[in-house]
Amino acid sequence: MRDAVLAFSTQFEFQPVVENKENLKVTDSFVLTGMGGSHLNADLLLAVAPHTDIIIHRDYGLPLVSAEKAAKSLFIASSYSGNTEEVIEAYNEAKEKGYALAAIAVGGTLLELAKADGVPYVAIPDTGIQPRSALAFSFMALLSLTGKDAFLKETQSLRTIIDPADIEQAGKDLAAAMKDRVPLVYASRANETVAWNWKIKLNETGKIPAFYNVFPELNHNEMTGFDVVPTMKHLAAPFHVVLLEDGDDHPKVQQRMDVLATLYSKRGLPVTRLALDGNTRLEKIFRSLLLADWTAVHTAALYGLESEHVPMVEEFKKMIAS
């Protein structure tokens, strides 16, 4: 896993090619079906272009949409392996309904179907990494299918701007600071995708429980669970709060982060404040996610665990297939 993180910036060199492009529906309305790391591309798109008309579906079948929405939309099936059963089912259902389709995968059943059906697709380079590690590949594939050429060019420019090796020590230090605690990752609503990615990287790569929430909503409910009193102090004890702070957040959200950090610290909860650093929104996000990668890699190492593979997921897949 460490090698995959070190090499992450090479993904920005990817030049996605849309095969069967003559059949690609040109539209500004999209529905993407993907599970796990395979819908993170759409999450990221909404984070940098929040007005994009895209529905993200993380389930079997297709989302409930109006006939008008369905008719004008491009339905994108996204599965890193190309074999995700929920995505294959969605692809087949969209095909049966006559919807405009596109696909993103490294291969597998999904690309076989797309090739046979003449459906536009982008083949992601099969470098042997995990889906969660291939975010730049899948994001650029999505940008090419959705016509976001300016974002594609900006993403590719990060190749010479971000060096993952420069971020490793900060991740190692954070992993050590959080050892024997459960991370709670908090961010603004605008940066929910970043917090969500931190959580899943700590789950899948770090192999530990981790959770996230967003401001200002958490100030109306979750924080009251940490108003520590002697009878429940043991319930709050295992947590470590990570605040993802962004100078572009609403001033009131920034104030809420300041106040909550003070309140939690007074109650004995460890709080780490991390600024999103970069000259552009995309740079900020990718730098933060690389820090999350390094934190997760070193978290797994602290517990003597292998960081790349997800044996419980594989065990689960075998059990539901039997």
- The residues carrying an active-site annotation are 204, 220, 317
Nearest alpha-carbon partner for 130 in 7, 242, 42: 7
CB-side neighbour CA atoms (13 Å) of 91: 28
- Alpha-carbon span 288 to 140, nearest angstrom: 18
- Alpha-carbon span 94 to 75, nearest angstrom: 7
Nearest alpha-carbon partner for 65 in 94, 39, 89: 94
Nearest alpha-carbon partner for 255 in 240, 266, 245, 265: 245
| CA 320 distance to own-chain centroid | 25
| CA 93 distance to own-chain centroid | 25
Contact 8, 300 (CB under 8 A): no
Q: Provide the residue type at 270 as one letter.
A: P
Contact 1, 158 (CB under 8 A): no
Contact 62, 94 (CB under 8 A): yes
Cis peptide before 209 (omega within 30 of 0): no
- Alpha-carbon span 146 to 30, nearest angstrom: 8
